[in-house]
Amino acid sequence: MTDEPSTGTRGTIDLDTRPPEPPARPRRWTWPVFAVIAVGVAVFLLGGAGGSYQSKLSEVQKNDNASYLPPSAESTEAGNEAEKFNPVQNIPGFVVFHREAGLTAADKAAVGSVATAVRDLPGVDKQAVTPPEFSEDGRTASVYAPLIASADGAELNGEELLENEKRVLSTAREAAPEGLAVHSAGPGGLLVAFIDAFSGLDTTLLLTAVGVIFVILLLVYRSIVLPFLPLISASLALGLSSLIIYYLAKNEVLTLTGQSQSILSVLVLGAGTDYALLLIARYREELHEYPPVDAMIAAWKASIQAIAASAATVTIALLCLSFSELNSNKSLGPVAAIGIVCTLVVMTTFLPLSLVLVPKLWFWPIPQLLAYVVPRLRRARPEGARGIFWTLDGSWVFWPRIPRRDHQSDVASHGFWSRLAALIGRRHRVAWISATVLLLICLAGLTSLKTDGLTTAEGFTTKPDAVIGQELYDENFDKGAGAPAVIVADADSADAVIAAARGTEGVARTPGAVCVQPDYAKLAAAAGSGTGPPQAGADGCLPPALQVAPIDGRTVINATLADSYDSPAAYDTIDRLRGAVHGVSGADAQVGGASAANLDVSNASVRDRNLIIPIVLAVIFLILAALFRALLAPVLLIATVVLSFAATLGVCGFVFEHVFGFAGADQSFPLFAFVFLVALGIDYNIFLMTRVREEALGFGTRQGVLRGLSVTGGVITSAGIVLAATFVVLGILPLVFLAEIGFAVAFGVLLDTIIVRSVLVPALSYDIGKRIWWPSKLASGAD
């Protein structure tokens, strides 16, 4: 590199790159090199051992709303108090029977036998099972068969709930006459359907993502061996992170949900491949100057700052989710952050070792065999087989496009990206204005984006059995039955609280809709006494002798809602009900239950979004300011990524409604999309601008922009395509939330890679010139 910055002609790329003689070889055996080797061997062993823990993560998952909510949520506090009145906590659920032509006598007899049989099944709260209920039109019947969620403080995990629900359905279907349809329904059935959506798909998701990445890497590298190395490294990173997360979740240090596990897989694969692409691209460049070991040391030193800064940005942005009220968000941050840190460690230790050593360790028999079998080779290589073995060096992994040590690594060799850089140099103002206008046009779709939540049934991209059953139940029975609001209040104020609840709009008006909770143990004893079913009073409630007794002066009241437990109307009712019972003087009433938990999750999601997004932006600004030693460049990069994020939301609003036909999006969708898009989008700007700064030190800022774009354009675009393809794979899971996140991140990454990083940022940086590095010394250097 020349002593004075070379600026070239405005709008063109200066090709005065490196001197004809190779630079001095980096020192090989220093303590950092030994540290990389030691850590690389360690993560290989730990990552390999952790591979088996990927399948075990489902054992420590929690997917119920109570696991999502903080202890301070009203529904959580009410639920904790309600547990005192019943050692067994259940999840309401139904078995729904339907025959379009009408239930026959044999059907009704079978329904009755099922109501008896399910009482004795493991995992069913037998004390709460009720006799069958038949619809007015005679075509549908239901049996209330709630699942045990916890007993004496011991909670059941998702796999156990799924197994118990399948056992209930299997028993019902075996008893059903031919032609009688049997479905699950209620919160229990829908929760189990949600758990089942993840069951068995982890392997499918992982294999699909690996297959997509492998095909893309084949096209990028056009090498047979090379694509395997990033994938093997990413698999080790996933194994290492699974090992750590399993024990943290098992010991309840963090909460692992099904969606967190799915996001972890694609995030590790996508980010890992990104880091690998950047390192390998720089390694290929250095192979034009050095032998493989020296080239890898030089490439590692040149790329580690960008890779580490990228990983730090994503990790810290994810850890900002720790400020969330929701346990699911709060734990997704550490889960995903652990994945990113493990990926960084593996990709900067094991991957460099594998790139240099793979040809020697994997294919060592081949040159030895040739040396002995083919005499000509032995005569041509007097050093013998060992010499031929060591000539199979690290550059061989690029076969058949092996880079030569010709000192010709130059921006001129980057074809399309050199031409694009030259065009931006000539038309920089037109380029960044056009890119900005395009992004602003995309904002028009924001009016179509609905983030007021989805019902549980609307949350599936398919129509699982539980959704069909829920629709049948809602058409034929009281929608709010089985999932009442649970009110905990002072026993002395119970009558006033019941009166306030009965007068609340949206609470069912039928007799017995608002009553002190039954004592199921006493009910079971009464049923077994032979005196017949207990008689309700004029208000439809059981006599006090069969109700729960007050504990510490508190009691529990159930209030049946008029609408389905997960509908917006039910959430509005909970708001009104809370206002009504909170107004009862001295009652200290709190409202919980399934609807209240859903509402608290929704409210917490909005609060988290409004709090965490500004924190993430502030943290990213500080990281970029430290990385570039400047203030203007971070502002520019963050502004462009936020604009890209808003444009992505606009496109999502249009696509979700008019293409996919989704009913809307979850309240947490904007927050998740922001964290992933902004953190990952900043990655590509970091990769670009660190190289621009490196080039600007020798060639001036404007030449540095053009050279940086030329050199990094191909690798960053490839990384963006890999990451987008990886997140698209989330669409194979039949859940609207993950499908929406997958599309948003995939589209946003491509938009950021193709428009923002390739056109907007380079063109705007070129137009601003050296002032972009203000207030660092580089701002007073060559323009």
Distance CA 668, CA 234 (A): 28
H/E stretch holding 579: helix 568-582
**Residues in Cβ contact with 170 at an 8 Å cutoff, skipping those fewer than 6 apart:** none
Side chain identity, residue 290 = Y
The pLDDT of residue 7 is: 43
Q: Does 410 have pLDDT greater than 80?
A: no
pTM of the model as a whole: 0.78
Q: Provide the pLDDT for residue 448.
A: 87
**Residue 96, phi then psi, degrees to nearest 5:** -110, 130
Report the helix count and the strand count for the chain, using DSSP H and E: 26, 11
Encoded amino acid at 778, one letter = L
Residue whose token pair is 């696509």: 655
- pLDDT of 646 reads 93
Percent over 70 (pLDDT), the chain: 86
**Is residue 195 very low, low, confident or very high in pLDDT (cuts 50, 70, 90)?**
confident
The tally of CA atoms less than 13 A away on the side-chain side of residue 310 is 32
Question: Closest Cα partner for 17 from 300, 289, 401?
Answer: 289
Q: What is the mean pLDDT of the chain?
A: 82
In the block, tokens 């989704």 appear at: 662
pLDDT digits (tens, 9 = 90+) for 421-439: 889 989 999 999 999 999 9
Residues 171-181: tens digit of each pLDDT: 999 999 999 99
Please give the Cα distance from 259 to 734 (Å, whole number). Answer: 12
Query: Has residue 392 got a pLDDT over 60?
Result: no
The set of residues, in sequence order, having a beta carbon less than 8 Å from that of 486 and lying 6+ positions away, is: 78, 79, 82, 517, 556, 557, 558, 559, 591, 592, 593, 596
The token pair that represents 116 in the structure block: 């008896």
Distance CA 128, CA 105 (A): 26
Predicted local distance difference test score (pLDDT) of residue 299: 87
CA angle 783, 758, 306 (to 5 degrees): 75
Rounded-to-integer distance, Cα 222 and Cα 195, Å: 40
Single-letter code of the amino acid located at 600: D
- For residue 556 the two structure tokens come to 């529990």
Which is higher by pLDDT, 736 or 151? 736
Q: Are 166 and 117 in contact (CB under 8 A)?
A: no
pLDDT confidence bin for 14, thresholds 50/70/90: low
Average pLDDT over residues 776-781: 80
pLDDT at 369 over 70: no
| Confidence at residue 521, expressed as pLDDT on a 0 to 100 scale | 77
Q: Which two tokens stand for residue 90?
A: 């259940």
Q: How many CB atoms lie within 10 A of CB 81?
A: 19
- As a whole number of Å, the CA-based R_g of the chain is 32
Q: Encode pLDDT of 99-108 as tens digits.
A: 999 999 999 9
Spatial contact of 43 and 247, defined as CB atoms under 8 Å apart:
no
Nearest Cα residue to 566 out of 613, 606, 602, 619: 602
What pLDDT is recorded for position 135? 92
> Burial of 201 by CB count in 10 Å (0-12 exposed, 13-18 middle, 19+ buried)?
middle
Q: How many CB atoms lie within 10 A of CB 773?
A: 26
Could you tell me whether strands 133-134 and 554-559 are parallel, antiparallel, or unpaired per DSSP bridges? unpaired
pLDDT at 486: 94
* Strand, coil or helix: 35: helix
Q: How confident is the model at residue 675 (pLDDT cuts 50, 70, 90)?
A: confident
The structure tokens listed for 596 are 């209240």
Please give the DSSP secondary-structure letter assigned to residue 487. E
Mean pLDDT for the stretch of residues 715-728: 84
Name the more confident of 676 and 124.
Answer: 124
Tokens encoding 480:
């709010």
Q: Give the pLDDT band (50/70/90) at residue 583.
A: very high
pLDDT beyond 60 at 16: no
Please give the angle made by the CA atoms of 589, 592 and 596, to the nearest 5 degrees. 125
pLDDT for the residue numbered 408: 61
Confidence of residue 199 (pLDDT cuts 50, 70, 90): low
pLDDT at 357 over 80: no
Residue 144 pairs in a beta bridge with 94
Q: CA-CA distance, 305 to 313, in Å (whole number)?
A: 12
User: How much helix, strand and coil, in percent to the nearest 5, is found in the chain?
Assistant: 65, 5, 25
Q: Is omega for the bond preceding 400 within 30 degrees of 0, making it cis?
A: yes
**pLDDT tens, residue by residue, 28-80:** 667 777 788 888 888 888 888 887 887 788 777 776 555 667 778 899 899 88
pLDDT at 332: 81
Lowest mean pLDDT among 124-138, 370-384, 623-637: 370-384
Show the DSSP H helices in 144-200 as ranges: 158-175, 186-198
Query: How does residue 20 score in pLDDT terms, banded at 50, 70 and 90?
Result: very low
CB 288 within 8 A of CB 404: yes
